[in-house]
Copies of this chain bind each other. A is one copy, B any other.
Amino acid sequence: MDLTHFDETGRARMVDVSAKEETDREAVARGKIIMKQETLERIRMGQIAKGDVLAVAQVAGIMGAKQTSQLIPMCHPLAITGAKLSFDFEEPDGISIEARVKVSGKTGVEMEALTAVSIAALTIYDMCKAIDKTMTIQEIYLAEKRGGKSGHFIRG
Q: In the docked arrangement, what's the CA distance between A13 and B83, Å?
A: 6
Per-residue contact bits, chain A 98-112, to B (CB 8 Å; 1 contact, 0 not): 000011111000110
Main secondary structure of the interface of A (DSSP, over half): mixed
Closest residue of chain B to A85 (Cβ to Cβ) is B11
B137 touches A62 (CB 8 A): no
B133 touches A111 (CB 8 A): no
Query: Inside 8 A of A12's CB, which chain B residues have their CB?
Result: 51-52, 55-56, 58-59, 62, 127
- 16 interchain pairs, CB-CB under 8 A: A2-B131, A3-B51, A5-B56, A5-B126, A11-B54, A14-B82, A18-B24, A31-B137, A56-B73, A63-B71, A72-B122, A111-B125, A114-B137, A136-B141, A137-B141, A138-B139
